Structure formats: C-alpha cells, structure tokens
Amino acid sequence: MSPVAISGVDKQGVYVNGVQVKQALDPANETVNKGVYDPTTLSAVDGDLAVGNIEQGVTIFGKLGTVVPMDVSDANAAVGDVKDPKTFYSVAAPRKTGTMPTVAITNANDNYPAGYHAGNVGGLDAIDLDLASANIKSGVIIFGKAGAATVQDISTADAAVTDVKDPKTFFSVTGARKTGTMPTVAITAANDDYPAGYHAGNVGGLDAIDADLAPGNIKDGVTIFGKLGTYAQTITHDVQDSDVDSAATTLSRQLDYEVTSYIAAGADGVFLTLTINCAQATVLEAAYFVNACGDGAGDNNLKLQMYIDGVAQGESANLTASGVFHLFYDTGYGSVASGNRIVYLNCHSYEASDASRAFISGGLFAAACRLV
C-alpha cells in the first residue's frame, strides 16, 4: 500500500482520497498518462491498429502492414469534372468535391448546356413532343426523325383556284386549303366551241366525238385535224315545184378547177351530185362534159360513170394514165316518178390493189327536167 497522501499522483499512480485509481488508454489520442493500467493490447484499445490499415512493409506496434499503396499519379480530374457534390481523390489533394453542375435539355429552347445530363430513355422526342415526323418538312431528318411526305415546302406553289379542277382541294402558297374552281367541260359534236376548263379528253380522238370528222366527209385534199379529205366536191340543189311547172328546168354546175379524188382499189369516188325535187312524173336528162385524167404514174384503170335515180347510164373509157387531161362526156335519161331524184357523176376504180387518183379540171354537169 502506498504511503501517499490523500489525493494525488505518485509513482504508483493516481490516488483519490488515498485510494489508487487505474487508468485506461484512449483510442482517441496517443497519450499515455501516468498511472496504473490493467493489462491489454493496443489493438484492443484501437481496432484500427490492424495490418489491413498499415501500408505494406511498415510495422506499427508489431503489426506488419499489408496495404499496397494506390498510385494516383495519373489522376487528372478537377473539381469541375466531377458532379457536385460528389467527392474524389486527386493527385494534388487527399479529397476533393466536384463542382460539375447537373443540367438538362428542355423544350423551352434549343440550349444544350454544359454539365451533367441525367438524359431521358424516351429520347429527345420525350422532352419535346413536337419533335415528330408530322412536324418535319419532307426530305429533312431532325435527330433521326424523317419528315413526313405530307409536310411540303409550299413557298413556290403558284396554283390559283382557277387552276385546279372543281371540286378538288389544294394548299396554296399561303398554306390555306382551297377548292379549285376549274370547270369540267368537253368538246361536243353539237358545235365547234372549244371551252376553257378541264377536258377529260377522248382516247379515240376528235373523230370519236364527232364521227363525221372522217376523210370521206372532208373535201378532197383538205386536212382537218389530221384527217386528209377524200370527199369529192358535191353540189346539191333542189328544183322548186314552180320550176318544174315550166316546160323544162335545167340544173347545171360548173366543176371547179381542179377536183381531185383518191379512190381505193375497186371503189367508187363520187365527184358531183345533183338532187332534183320533182313535183310530178318527169323525164330526167343528165349530161357531163369534163376534162379528166388519172394520176400521171401507174396504170390507174379509172372510168367515169353517170347515174340517174340509182340506175347506171353509161361508163367512159379509161381515164388517160399519162396525167394529160382529155375530154369525156356522156348523156342519159330516164323517166321518174315524183319525189327527190338524184343524178351523180362517179369515178370507179378497176384497180385490183393500188389506190388511184382522179382529176377533173373543169367541166359541166347538168340535169334537166322535162314534164312527161
């Protein structure tokens, strides 16, 4: 027992009221006070005194460290490179706190700020729903969204409502949806009007609209809408009843210079027709005197024929094949009952295959009525 005073510290330790008090090591600091301690180990006082906390090769209180030191010499992150408020160890300082701001793209503008972006698994179109094909010009691709074909640049459009078929709609240069006013019209056989507007057309051509547009109805040698006429000149005339009352009535027609007719092989070509309106039974007489010839090349085998009221009156010899005109003439007659009676001058081709061309260069074709 220590002879120590009532309270104090001597070589034996700490006394309080003459009673010795034992000391304890504090893991919070390295101080070892004077006094009496119970037996222990330092690692029991501070659990951090362990080989796993000591660098490899270093021994502390008998603990040989096993920690391999990390080489951080190549670290290069600065605080601006690390998201705020995350921390990191850099080469220059034990630990630092990042200052990189967290930012985001919004649909308010097209800003793309620097910083950390959380992103959006839905993509940019999840942020701005207007990023859609229907809102993008055709032919343009914005962030992978191809413009729809219906979204067109209409800045160069120039159609007016009168340019578009009624009632079809279109978008004008102003972007407004408009309805065409162009009328649908057509060429008809009733007249020669050619109205403005949309024409459906006719794959058969104009002659499908008016079947009278045919070579046989067009004057020989005249071309109308690509149809070369083959119709020989025809003159018709009615003798009035009062004319027939006279002793004799004569119709005569001077043949033009020069009448031409293309005649197919074996076919007829009527040059001239006179229609006589007979008020009563009449002796109808007819005669022609014409200069005629066939084409100047080839053996044409053409002959003139005259008919009175549907009955053949005669036939000429061959029209000369030299292209030189010769005079041909004939007469005929027959008694007919009242009514319209026709006399006509025809040219018949006896050719077996080739078409021929007949010319009449002046002449006279006449018919006379003589009362029975």
Token pair in block for residue 349: 């081709």
Q: With respect to other proteins, which residue has the nearer C-beta, 230 or 301? A: 301
- Residue 125's H or E segment, with its range, is helix 124-127
Tell me how far, at minimum, the Cβ of 227 lies from other proteins, in Å: 23
Q: With respect to other proteins, which residue has the nearer C-beta, 216 or 298? A: 298
Map the footprint of other proteins across residues 281-300, applying CB under 8 A. 281, 283, 296-299
Q: Does 265 bind other proteins (CB under 8 A)?
A: no
Is the backbone of residue 182 left (phi > 0), alpha (psi -120 to 50) or beta? beta
Residues 371, 252: Cα–Cα separation, whole Å: 18
Map the footprint of other proteins across residues 144-183, applying CB under 8 A. none
Q: Does 64 bind other proteins (CB under 8 A)?
A: no
Among 181, 233, 236, 320, binds other proteins (CB under 8 A): 320
Nearest to 9, CA basis, from 60, 18, 131: 18
3-class secondary structure per residue, 183-241: CEECCCCCCCCCCCCEECCCCCCHHHHCCCCCHHHCECCCEECCEECCECCCCCCCCCH
Q: Does 307 bind other proteins (CB under 8 A)?
A: yes
Tell me how far, at minimum, the Cβ of 233 lies from other proteins, in Å: 17
Q: With respect to other proteins, which residue has the nearer C-beta, 12 or 320? A: 320
Tell me how far, at minimum, the Cβ of 344 lies from other proteins, in Å: 8
Among 82, 272, 308, 367, binds other proteins (CB under 8 A): 308
Q: Which stretch binds other proteins (CB under 8 A): 51-59, 93-101, 158-166, 314-322?
A: 314-322
Question: ∠ at Cα 317 (314, 322), nearest 5°?
Answer: 145
Q: With respect to other proteins, which residue has the nearer C-beta, 100 or 342? A: 342
Token pair in block for residue 77: 């992150």
Is the backbone of residue 163 left (phi > 0), alpha (psi -120 to 50) or beta? alpha
Token pair in block for residue 27: 């893991």
Q: With respect to other proteins, which residue has the nearer C-beta, 26 or 212? A: 212
Map the footprint of other proteins across residues 322-361, applying CB under 8 A. 322-324, 326, 330-337, 341-342, 344, 348, 350
